[in-house]
Structure 1
């Protein structure tokens, strides 16, 4: 997109309205607030819905299988962002991608809200994965289009937008978790209503507040390309449907084999990205050095997100089965613990931002911050060992141990997530800037694809070995990364 077109989009957006920011930030703030309310509300109770007995309103799946499916679901959500970004860039623009994505998410939650079979459950998962992949990356792009590249409000605008994400993620598990014991389907229905409200907010205010933001197609397909692309997609869907129709009854395509396929893709796709970028003639010598520096950071990110994302799988099960839920006269829903992560981010993000500002040039380098994030992640798992060591694996533990674990891993997230986003934009080869950002999100996809295999080994009986080995591995990797930090910093060629 030329600088002229960028400025034309900026000029079309009313620039004063929402806390001194473009009016469109109001539209996108509440659209994303309700989308995250919808997503995290559904996610807070999904694993329980899968493994609770049918008599309790669940699907009655094996618990380890449910934990693996939950991890695969998270991995596919991040992978689908590549599809959503491509559709927005080549076919219908980011604004329409946000709208269509929201509709798919809402339909997915409506399907979940209707009592049905395991087959209907997977239909809902397909709808939500595709919808989130279309909405999630593109709504952030629209935020960026409202500001000129030199606008000093830009970072503050994204910070306000980020608060909307976490506010929705904080409230929804509290509300949806409160009705979980009464009806899972009512909880999913509340999530559907949340997405509906987000869509209504978007449709009613986008014309007045967003101007041309999100309407431009950066690299549209030609008529010939469209015909070829749609033919290819159509054939792909038909072939996939035929394969499923044949392989599922034969017992070849099972839950286990599908989980293995996604795990393989979670590792293969980012590997291909690295190879293509490194070998491209468009990549300079300096950029190749930075790609080499990025690889250990990517591996560290996979390890970190592998632990952090177990908050909605292993720690969710731990909250349900190993935690004292009647505490100080309050009955705690196990889903409420899912609100801790966004709550702690809202509270401590300004503290960490202020700390880095105060340290200035004395602050840790990017590799050192990544090593700190791994240290915190490892400690968050080792903390869970203490109540098991003191009281055994048969007694219920105080919920404060879980609170402490979530708090410690958030410290790691604040050393990893914003720093990783910033480092990715700086280290990306010029010819692959957008794709390198996709690669950063694929670290989460790879982590959860890996988790789909790892969570199979968890049980209350071996929890000390489980938490101890994973937490210990993260700390060892943290020490190795810290030792290699000067070498990695040198390969970054002036980027700090």
Structure 2
């Protein structure tokens, strides 16, 4: 059924992006508003004293809990992907996930306690497992496999991710922590209302059936073994998922060590106004909204040249090098701070770091989502999307472990280690990009 929709609309899709992309853009924007609004204040909420509206946890405990949560958020999509590949329609799964995430934020708002926090985080983790792999997969289903606009479409979709992520810290940074969680819950509800009222109009029948039923409609035998080509492509996806663990381990310092470094050591004065620490987490999203159209156009223009676009592994190697450079930018700042917790350094250090991290993210994340949706065997699409997201699960926990060491070893050692390791790994990936690209065919 979905294949027929693609055939009927193929000529239109060659000319412009389908309107369904922008509905998914809006749905993801509100979901990311919810997630990043909560993420921006989670460590600060945990470490703030009760009189300041927090739970009074020590920094090491707060970073560890933050890492466990963000890790689990990216692990449950494997289960959600499995269920939708076999039983649940993707659009139903997105709705279930959205409702659970709204309830999760609302429970944290209702009661200021560790018990309410654990309940809320559990609901957010489960809900995300249903939501995350399926909305990305539906984006891929809007396009033909060889449509040159696919990478650009995922980059545009990624702007939706970052529109929500940009606005959320700015909003919740101006209110008490509890009401920040309430705002995140409201954002999730708005997104679901849009998705469920406009889905039939702009998505047609896409996502209304499980992958297993789609295969039956197209007379594909779901129990047939994978072809050699499908096996090679699956191996390539798994290899790249392992490689990007290093990237996400570096990138996900944003919610923990970079937030604490900003709070403790960045001069946040802008005249008489003190910039809230949460606002710095909006820099990444701001840069993505500015740079995503440029990168989308760049990938498309390169695809029209004689040599073609960069291969996916090449882009990922470049991304690893760039994220490493972002941490090396902070090394002079950590030297200036030294052991004196009273020293504050210019905020441009952090601004430039987030700029480089954004460039790196655009070389890896939307490109990776496009690759998985394009190369995955139909019966494994959601599972492999879950595997791709699971690389972030491992990375988030590694990121929190590294971040806790900033409290004992210091920021200089940890930021320097992350920078050097990611740059070296990026260079290695560039050298092996051709054999990986051959697996992808």
Task: Tell me the TM-score range normalised by the shorter chain.
Answer: 0.7 to 0.9
Determine the C-alpha separation between the residues in 2 that align with 1:381 and 1:401: 10
What corresponds to 1:194 in structure 2?
Answer: 187
What corresponds to 1:267 in structure 2?
Answer: none
Q: 1:184 to 1:288 in 2, by over 3 A?
A: same
Secondary structure of the corresponding residue to residue 31 of structure 1 = helix
Give, in angstroms, the shift of residue 385 of structure 1. Answer: 1.3
Contact 1:292/1:491 (CA < 8 Å) preserved in 2?
no
Aligned: 1:442 with 2:401: no
Aligned: 1:328 with 2:271: yes
Give, in angstroms, the shift of residue 150 of structure 1. Answer: 7.5
Aligned: 1:493 with 2:438: yes
Aligned: 1:132 with 2:128: yes
Counterpart selection for 2:316 from 367, 370, 373: 370
Deviations 1:197-249 (A, max 9, x none): 222223333344443233213326xxxxxxxxxxxxxxxxxxxxxxxxxxxxx
Aligned: 1:7 with 2:4: yes
Q: 1:80 to 1:379 in 2, by over 3 A?
A: same
Determine the C-alpha separation between the residues in 2 that align with 1:89 and 1:432: 7
Contact 2:2/2:205 (CA < 8 Å) preserved in 1?
no
Give, in angstroms, the shift of residue 332 of structure 1. Answer: 0.5
Determine the C-alpha separation between the residues in 1 that align with 2:19 and 2:236: 40
What corresponds to 2:220 in structure 1?
Answer: none
Deviations 1:274-321 (A, max 9, x none): xxxxxx994566666666666653343111110001111110111111
Determine the C-alpha separation between the residues in 1 that align with 2:91 and 2:238: 33
Counterpart selection for 2:329 from 380, 383, 403: 383
RMSD of aligned alpha carbons: 3.2
1:402-421 alignment runs, 5 A limit: 402-421=350-369
Give, in angstroms, the shift of residue 399 of structure 1. Answer: 1.4
Q: 1:388 to 1:146 in 2, by over 3 A?
A: closer
Give, in angstroms, the shift of residue 67 of structure 1. Answer: 0.9
Give, in angstroms, the shift of residue 381 of structure 1. Answer: 1.2
Give, in angstroms, the shift of residue 92 of structure 1. Answer: 3.2
1:69-148 alignment runs, 5 A limit: 69-146=65-142
Give, in angstroms, the shift of residue 107 of structure 1. Answer: 0.6
Q: 1:55 to 1:342 in 2, by over 3 A?
A: same
**Equivalent residue pairs, number:** 424
Give, in angstroms, the shift of residue 430 of structure 1. Answer: 7.5
Determine the C-alpha separation between the residues in 1 that align with 2:308 and 2:139: 32
Residues 439-448 or 24-33, more deviating:
24-33
Determine the C-alpha separation between the residues in 2 that align with 1:200 and 1:281: 39
Contact 2:154/2:366 (CA < 8 Å) preserved in 1?
no
What corresponds to 1:258 in structure 2?
Answer: none
Residues 29-38 or 198-207, more deviating:
198-207
Determine the C-alpha separation between the residues in 1 that align with 2:82 and 2:378: 18
Contact 1:98/1:135 (CA < 8 Å) preserved in 2?
yes
Determine the C-alpha separation between the residues in 1 that align with 2:36 and 2:344: 26
Aligned: 1:219 with 2:216: no
Q: 1:159 to 1:288 in 2, by over 3 A?
A: closer
Determine the C-alpha separation between the residues in 2 that align with 1:298 and 1:209: 31
Q: Which consecutive unaligned segments of at least 5 residues does structure 1 have?
A: 221-279
Deviations 1:332-383 (A, max 9, x none): 1100011111111111223334444555427654443322222111111111
What corresponds to 2:344 in structure 1?
Answer: 396
Larger radius of gyration: 1
Q: 1:365 to 1:5 in 2, by over 3 A?
A: closer
Contact 1:427/1:492 (CA < 8 Å) preserved in 2?
no
Determine the C-alpha separation between the residues in 1 that align with 2:378 and 2:139: 22
Determine the C-alpha separation between the residues in 2 that align with 1:142 and 1:491: 26
Determine the C-alpha separation between the residues in 2 that align with 1:287 and 1:140: 20
Aligned: 1:467 with 2:406: no
Residues 472-481 or 327-336, more deviating:
472-481
Q: 1:296 to 1:388 in 2, by over 3 A?
A: same
What corresponds to 2:401 in structure 1?
Answer: 453
Give, in angstroms, the shift of residue 50 of structure 1. Answer: 1.1
What corresponds to 2:216 in structure 1?
Answer: none
What corresponds to 2:217 in structure 1?
Answer: none
Give, in angstroms, the shift of residue 25 of structure 1. Answer: 4.2
Q: 1:187 to 1:203 in 2, by over 3 A?
A: same
1:224-239 alignment runs, 5 A limit: none
Determine the C-alpha separation between the residues in 2 that align with 1:68 and 1:356: 38
Secondary structure of the corresponding residue to residue 324 of structure 1 = coil
Contact 2:133/2:382 (CA < 8 Å) preserved in 1?
no
Contact 2:37/2:168 (CA < 8 Å) preserved in 1?
yes
